[in-house]
Amino acid sequence: MLGQLDSADGAVVADFEAGLGTVIRMGDRPVDVVVLVTEPTVKSLEVASRAADLVRDHKLGRLVVTANRVRDDADVTRVQAAFPDVDVVMVPDEPAIVAAERRGEAPLDAAPDSPGVRALVGLADRLLPN
């Protein structure tokens, strides 16, 4: 389905299931940007690292890695060790984001200056063409 979309004048953002399956099914059909979202757990980092290797090996697109729910320096170190050559977007485990979502509010509106929202805005900036 995505292969039939004409995105020459715009952008298509797709949120796929976690794991390697989607990256493997992409084959050798590149996109502009592949965003890998991981958490600072051993299993999640292992899967994301393997997915990043596939993205690079098959030249699927510009790679952006985001670590979600980062709680402390040990998490940051673990993520950086898994992606030593990538400037990873670190999104802290942010109570303000959780609270906003529970109230049905957009975190950007509810807590625009919170570290988590600032990290997500930074992620959005990285997705824009250079």
Contact between 98 and 86 under an 8 Å Cβ cutoff? The reply is no
pTM: 0.81
Query: CATH fold of 11-127, please?
Result: Rossmann fold (3.40.50)
What is the C-alpha to C-alpha distance for residues 38 and 26, in angstroms, rounded to an integer?
A: 19
Q: How many CA atoms lie within 13 A of 13 on its CB side?
A: 5
Question: What residue ranges do the domains of the chain occupy?
Answer: 11-127
Structure tokens at 2: 């995505």
Instruction: Output the tens digit of pLDDT for each of the chain's 130 residues.
Output: 445 555 566 666 666 666 666 666 666 777 788 889 999 999 999 999 998 998 898 888 888 999 999 999 999 999 999 999 999 999 999 999 999 999 999 999 999 999 999 999 999 998 877 6
Structure tokens at 19: 């794991």
pLDDT tens-digit map of 81-111: 999 999 999 999 999 999 999 999 999 999 9
